[in-house]
Amino acid sequence: MARVAIVTGGTRGIGEAICLALKEQGRTVIANYGGNDAAAKAFTARTGIPSFRWDVGDHEACIHNCNDLAAEFGPIDIVVNNAGITRDGVLHKMSFDDWNEVMRINLGGCFNMAKATFPGMRERGWGRIVNIGSINGQAGQYGQVNYAAAKSGIHGFTKALAQEGAKFGVTVNAIAPGYIDTDMVAAVPAPVLEKIVAKIPVGRLGHADEIARGVAFFTSEEGGFATGSTMSINGGQHMY
């Protein structure tokens, strides 16, 4: 029986590429999304992957929906926490809501989805959790104290939970993408984007499927010795 995978923020951009990579891997894939019904409907029509709407920042919604999906599709063995938002601005202009919403969804979503699925993985003796961090959680970024803090928190969350899961066959890893050619990056003004690309040693933006291949490795049967790791896929922009 195919293992069941949930990808949050799975109907567009990096999330869609991850869904397709896991489907190719033979998984039963379910995409979560937060609000764009039209995009989700088009995604499902295009890929055949079912999509379900809930707010990953809502703890009870994560518990409820994961329980329902497990009852319908089978135990959830793979979770990719990809959902994320931005509310950029320098600190002195950033509202508490701008801070709180990014933390609630980007970091809180990882906790909520883990609470909904990690106990079952632990009991069954197999599981894969992959959290999508960011180069900006590693290096920081002007005007993103909320986003950088949330993504940096993801990397610490990953290392701590990996220690809890290791002896139970549950791996927890993270990927820190650099600048990828998604809608989020496309919204960056052209002059700013040119400056960003100029700082990437390989000389281009990344592609969503390059992130997806990293996820496919971490979620594979063969990836069981990798846990607590952060894979940086950023074209050499940040090395440490």
CA distance 21 to 34: 21
CA distance 56 to 142: 26
Percent helix, strand, coil in the chain, to 5, is 50, 15, 30
CA distance 11 to 105: 16
Tokens of 230: 């952060």
CA distance 126 to 148: 31
Those residues whose C-beta lies under 8 Å from the C-beta of residue 34, and which sit 6 or more positions away, are: 9, 53, 54, 55, 56, 83, 105
Enumerate the β-bridge partners of residue 172: 129
Known catalytic residue at 147: yes
Q: Which of 33, 142, 147, 240 is catalytic?
A: 147
CA distance 125 to 113: 18
**Owner of token pair 């180069």:** 135
Which residues are known to be catalytic? 147
